[in-house]
Structure 1
Amino acid sequence: MNWRFVKAFGIRVPMRYGIHGIDVSRHNDRIDWSRVRRMEADGVRLQFVFIKATEGATMADKNFGKNWKEAQRIALHRGAYHFYHPTRDPLKQADNFIRHVTLRPGDFAPVVDFEVVNGQSDKTIVDGLRLWLETIEDHYQVRPIIYTNGNLYRRYIKGNLDEYPLWIADYSTSHPGRYDADKLYFWQHNQRGWVQGIKGQVDFNVFVGDESRMREVCL
């Protein structure tokens, strides 16, 4: 893996990949998207962003609407994600996302952010995730993406929901080769990057492939 420390971003970046991006939520406060778009360092510029839209059965990210419009204005590939709670009704969670997110051709497929289990059984978690995913796929007519970490992937996703595109958060490895290469599309490799126009630290990601493969996970 060809890593390079990019001082402007404050992190090492895996230069093997050519498509870099971030994900944001209300925790990043008000974002100056024009500054985000202008930022480039050591040949690396941001080309995509995932934006938090909803959480649970009723919550919506207060900055989603503005961030969603701004990402389109500055011509970043954009995607929306839902933070999933296994203790909440999966259908109500899917409806919450659908109420708030209108996708256009070229947008990424919807993402379910699965990172808490809340003490629920394996069966409850897998069945609930499957119901959310199937409901979302039926509405948007595109297969959703699963975001999770390595431990949750191995326990709940692998062998149960293998047909879905994967976005893995793994900061312990120099290359995400331990995951199914056919289904791995995004790799979140660092939580502590810096981007002009955004307050605080930012999650950094790469797309594992080229522009032609990216179309597989877009509307």
Structure 2
Amino acid sequence: MKTQKKNSARTPKQKQSVARQVLGLKSLYLLTGFLVVAAYYFYVRDAEQWTYVKDFGIKIPMRYSIHGIDVSHHNNKINWQKLNKGNNEVEISFCFIKATEGAKLKDKDFNKNWREAKKAGIMRGAYHFYVPWADPVAQAQNFIRTVNLEKGDFIPVIDFEVHGTSRKVRKNLVANVTTFCEYLKSHYGVRPIIYTNRHIYRQYVKGNFDNHPLWISDYDSRRLEGYNEASLILWQHSTNGRVAGVSGDVDFNVFVASESQLDDICIK
């Protein structure tokens, strides 16, 4: 039996309804995409809660609560009593001070900075700039002669950021840095903190010094990735901050481990 063929063409009203449905779905997809991007930005990309602090002239990762600086004679005369004056947003809680470099050099302002930092109530630490082509034992002895650590001070720091141009120097670099660190450990009773950059970390530190506390300098990343999280404690995130009491630019750092671990890197 033949049946009558139905007219499949849509009326104008039906066409308008379908169009509205399609536009509605597109809008929903666009909104969903926007929300995903926004969520990524606020909860992933900006998980460190970067916030501009006017008095410092830079953005600070406000996810963390313990902030500090590091200085040397290049920062000229420092008024330590002014360090936390005029800023109510972020307190400068600690400072690492350059003590020595290579086998013989002593920072000319170390003694004064070391003394005045303690008077100002700033947690203090001392660092040695490691010279790859200099004798590691002589470098360790230079630091030990210069720095007398007291209870509450940070443990020693080796600033390991250059590897030298000689193939022989680079070949023996890990062994020599190990010698330097072991010499300090035998004197102070603790493994020193290793300060380094991404390049040196990947080439020499990773896999060789994983049992040392790690202080990384990284100015381009919004968050630190690719480092040993078990040892990562400090992040130098800027070199051009400003702070009362220090003329010119100053390095800014933040303690990225849990606050309960702060005592782990202090002299007992």
Fold shared per TM-score above 0.5: yes
User: What is residue 212 of structure 1 aligned with on the other side?
Assistant: 260
1:63 aligns with 2:109: yes
Q: Is the 8 A contact 1:54 1:83 kept in 2?
A: yes
* Deviation at residue 75 of structure 1 after TM alignment: 1.0
User: What is residue 73 of structure 2 aligned with on the other side?
Assistant: 26
1:152 aligns with 2:196: no
Relative to structure 1, is the Cα distance of residues 176 and 39 closer, same or farther in structure 2, using a 3 angstrom cutoff? farther
Aligned residues: CA RMSD: 1.0
Cα distance in 1, alignment partners of residues 142 and 256 from structure 2: 29
Name the aligned partner's letter for residue 148 of structure 1: T
Q: Is the 8 A contact 1:37 1:74 kept in 2?
A: no
1:112 aligns with 2:158: yes
* Deviation at residue 118 of structure 1 after TM alignment: 1.6
Relative to structure 1, is the Cα distance of residues 212 and 68 closer, same or farther in structure 2, using a 3 angstrom cutoff? same
* Deviation at residue 115 of structure 1 after TM alignment: 1.2
> Where does 1:1-219 land on structure 2 (aligned, <5 Å)?
1-41=48-88, 43-121=89-167, 122-219=170-267
* Deviation at residue 176 of structure 1 after TM alignment: 1.1
Q: Which has the larger radius of gyration?
A: 2
1:75-100, Cα deviation, whole Å (9 max, x unpaired): 11110000000100000000000000
The alignment-based identity, stated in percent, is 51
SS of residue paired to 1:116: coil
Q: Which aligned segments of 4 or more residues in structure 1 are displaced greater than 4 angstroms?
A: none
The number of equivalent residue pairs is 218
Cα distance in 1, alignment partners of residues 98 and 196 from structure 2: 14
Cα distance in 2, alignment partners of residues 156 and 143 from structure 1: 17
TM-score (norm 1): 0.97
Name the aligned partner's letter for residue 134 of structure 2: R
Cα distance in 1, alignment partners of residues 239 and 146 from structure 2: 26
Runs of 5+ unmatched residues, structure 1: none
Name the aligned partner's letter for residue 29 of structure 1: N
Which protein has the bigger strand share? 1
Cα distance in 2, alignment partners of residues 200 and 210 from structure 1: 31
Indicate the structure whose relative CO is greater, using CA pairs within 8 Å and at least 6 residues apart: 1
* Deviation at residue 39 of structure 1 after TM alignment: 4.5
Runs of 5+ unmatched residues, structure 2: 1-47
* Deviation at residue 119 of structure 1 after TM alignment: 1.4
1:8-44, Cα deviation, whole Å (9 max, x unpaired): 1000000000000000000000000000133524x21
TM-score (norm 2): 0.79
Cα distance in 1, alignment partners of residues 86 and 215 from structure 2: 24
